[in-house]
């Protein structure tokens, strides 16, 4: 009996610690993350790259704007932290606290490492894994047309 109880305890401990080591937690609707002066955070607003890393006073609201379709759902830090969401959220950094708020329980917080590189590699494996295959040769050997950038007017509209 003691042997079975001991095995059960070990199994529970291994599962608990492996979950924490991998940085996985339950999804949440609000996160309040203290930011010390040696830690830098980057948001997913591509058009605001020139003001990164985040600074006190920064805010962005993905629930009302996708910033010209130039936003992605990940926040990442220089000390290995990640916030990910499949739903829009609001972020602000004030008084050295990063506040992330979602209208749903869609926020995932992880600390899978201690560096930016470790955080990114974890996010890549978990949220946007590659298939380790090169794109087709045609992608590199022929022109690529992006009509939503190239055509300033609606494609069917005549200009006089």
Tens-binned pLDDT, residue by residue, of the chain (160 aa)? 565 554 444 444 444 444 444 445 678 889 999 999 999 999 989 999 999 999 999 999 999 998 888 888 999 999 999 999 999 999 999 999 999 999 999 999 999 999 999 999 999 999 999 888 888 898 889 887 776 665 666 666 565 5
Strands, sheet with 58-61, edge to edge from the N-terminal-most edge strand: 30-34, 97-102, 89-94, 58-61
Is 120 a domain residue?
Answer: yes
Q: What is the pLDDT of residue 27?
A: 83
Q: Any idea what DSSP says for residue 98?
A: E
**Residue 32: domain span:** 26-131
Is 79 a domain residue?
Answer: yes
Is 160 a domain residue?
Answer: no
Q: Are the CB atoms for 123 and 108 separated by under 8 Å?
A: no
The total of structural domains in the chain comes to 1
Is 152 a domain residue?
Answer: no
Q: What is the pLDDT of residue 28?
A: 84
Is 143 a domain residue?
Answer: no
Kind and range of the H or E run holding 101: strand 97-102
Q: What is the pLDDT of residue 25?
A: 61
Is 9 a domain residue?
Answer: no
Beta bridge partners of 71: 45
Q: What does 39-95 look like in DSSP terms, one character per residue?
A: --EE-SBGGGGGGPSP-TTEEEETTT--TTT-B-SEEEETTS-EEEESS-EEEEEET
Is 52 a domain residue?
Answer: yes
Q: How many Cβ atoms sit within 10 Å of the Cβ of residue 5? A: 9
Rg (alpha carbons) of the chain, rounded to whole number? 21
Is 57 a domain residue?
Answer: yes
């Amino acid at each position: 009996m003691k042997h079975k109880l001991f095995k059960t305890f070990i199994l529970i401990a291994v599962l608990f610690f492996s979950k924490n080591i991998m940085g996985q937690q339950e999804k949440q609707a609000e996160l309040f993350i203290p930011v010390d002066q040696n830690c830098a955070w980057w948001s997913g607003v591509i058009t605001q790259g020139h003001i990164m890393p985040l600074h006190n006073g920064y805010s962005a609201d993905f629930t009302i704007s996708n910033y010209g379709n130039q936003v992605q759902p990940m926040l990442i830090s220089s000390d290995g932290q990640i916030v990910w969401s499949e739903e829009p959220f609001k972020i602000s950094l004030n008084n050295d606290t990063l506040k992330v708020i979602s209208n749903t329980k869609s926020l995932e917080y992880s600390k899978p490492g201690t560096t930016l590189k470790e955080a990114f590699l974890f996010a890549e494996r978990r949220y946007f894994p590659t298939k380790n295959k090169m794109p087709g040769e045609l992608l590199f050997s022929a022109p690529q047309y992006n009509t939503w950038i190239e055509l300033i007017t609606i494609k069917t509209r005549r200009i006089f």
